Structure 1
Amino acid sequence: MTKLLTSLLVSGLLLAGSAAVHAEDAAPGMPEHGARMMDPAKRDAMMAKHMQALHDKLKIQPNQEAAWQTFAASMKPEKMEKPPMSDKATAPQRMEDMMQRQQAHMQQRLDALKAFYAQLTPEQQKIMDQMHGPRGKEPRHKKGAPPANG
């Protein structure tokens, strides 16, 4: 009986300790626990690697390089500069301004993608469609399971 009680007590303490660790509040302006921001240098390196892999997989031809460069430049993250805003703007006005800036940036990305996509051969378009499928990722499947159809 004592072993059971001791085991339950130790388990309870471990559970309480782990709950306390996860309950810590993030400092103001910091991401929530578990939602860590990626180091910008690492993010840029990872994106460059992804873009180079896409370039290689698509086998970009010299006549497609200009459209590729425009597309690749449009995919870079938007600089996080403080937007010009009036101190008198209301919260809804600020959100609307932010939405309009983001929509303009996404429109530039879409225009660059369309121009680039138009330069691709049908085979390259198929590769591009597969790589940027649902959820923006290549189709994947669990280890040992056949790929999903569709």
Structure 2
Amino acid sequence: MNVLRKSILIGFTVLGMAAAQAQDMTPPAGRHGAVVNREQMQAKMEEMFAKRQAKLHDLLKLTAQQESAWASYQAAIKPAAAGGTLPDRDAVAKMSAPDRLAKMIDLSKQRQVKMEAHLTALTAFYSQLTAEQKAIFDDHTRGGAHGGHPGHRGGWGGHQG
């Protein structure tokens, strides 16, 4: 009887190890098990961005005079294509620690320049809005009650229960 138990235990262990090995060999899956490539993800993000902006445009009820400011603002904040902004992982892995940090600082400076351009466009557009439109805009953009950043639930305050 003891031999039978050991054999069953060994069999289950082997099956568990085989299942774990098979799981490691499957391609990475996106949300809900769908395999997603970078181009599909970029297209989906652009579609979601366009929908959010269209909804905001409708909520603001812009006047004809404000439409040109809206168009300029949209052109300035349109997300750039994802390719080329991130360095190659293999190349980064081969860099020395000081070179990796210098690369991170360079990328941070590039993001800073983009954010400053975004602020300039935002300020120009925001100055064209009425007080009621400003309240709607504030409420429906990142950090507002209806438009928190995806990684920070509740806006700037971090994760909230």
Q: TM-score range by the shorter chain?
A: 0.5 to 0.7
Letter in 2 for 1:71: Y
Q: CA deviation at 1:133?
A: 5.8
Q: Deviations over 1:5-33 (max 9, x none)?
A: xxxxxxxxxxx79x949x74887xxxx76
- Conserved in 2, the CA contact under 8 Å of 1:25 and 1:33? no
1:69 lines up with 2:71 in the alignment: yes
- Conserved in 2, the CA contact under 8 Å of 1:58 and 1:124? yes
What is the rounded CA distance, in whole Å, between the counterparts of 2:138 and 2:25 in structure 1? 41
Letter in 2 for 1:91: R
What is the rounded CA distance, in whole Å, between the counterparts of 2:138 and 2:82 in structure 1? 30
Q: CA deviation at 1:78?
A: 2.3
Pick from 84, 100, 107: which aligns with 1:91? 100
- Conserved in 1, the CA contact under 8 Å of 2:66 and 2:129? yes
SS in 2 for 1:39: helix
Specify the alignment match of 1:104 in structure 2: 113
Tell me the C-alpha RMSD between the 2 structures: 3.9
Gaps of 5+ in 2: 1-15, 149-161
TM-score normalised by the chain length of structure 2? 0.57
- Conserved in 2, the CA contact under 8 Å of 1:67 and 1:119? yes
CA 24–74 in structure 1, closer or farther in 2 if over 3 Å, else same: farther
CA 139–100 in structure 1, closer or farther in 2 if over 3 Å, else same: closer
Aligned length: 119
Which is worse superposed, 63-72 or 118-127? 63-72
What is the rounded CA distance, in whole Å, between the counterparts of 2:147 and 2:48 in structure 1? 19
Identity of aligned residues (%): 33
- Conserved in 1, the CA contact under 8 Å of 2:76 and 2:121? yes
Specify the alignment match of 1:138 in structure 2: 146
Q: CA deviation at 1:34?
A: 5.3
Specify the alignment match of 1:113 in structure 2: 122
Please show how residues 2-81 of structure 1 align to structure 2 within 5 Å: 20=20, 24=24, 39-81=41-83
SS in 2 for 1:100: helix
Letter in 2 for 1:56: D
CA 93–60 in structure 1, closer or farther in 2 if over 3 Å, else same: same
Gaps of 5+ in 1: 1-15, 141-150
- Conserved in 1, the CA contact under 8 Å of 2:42 and 2:82? no
What is the rounded CA distance, in whole Å, between the counterparts of 2:120 and 2:147 in structure 1? 25
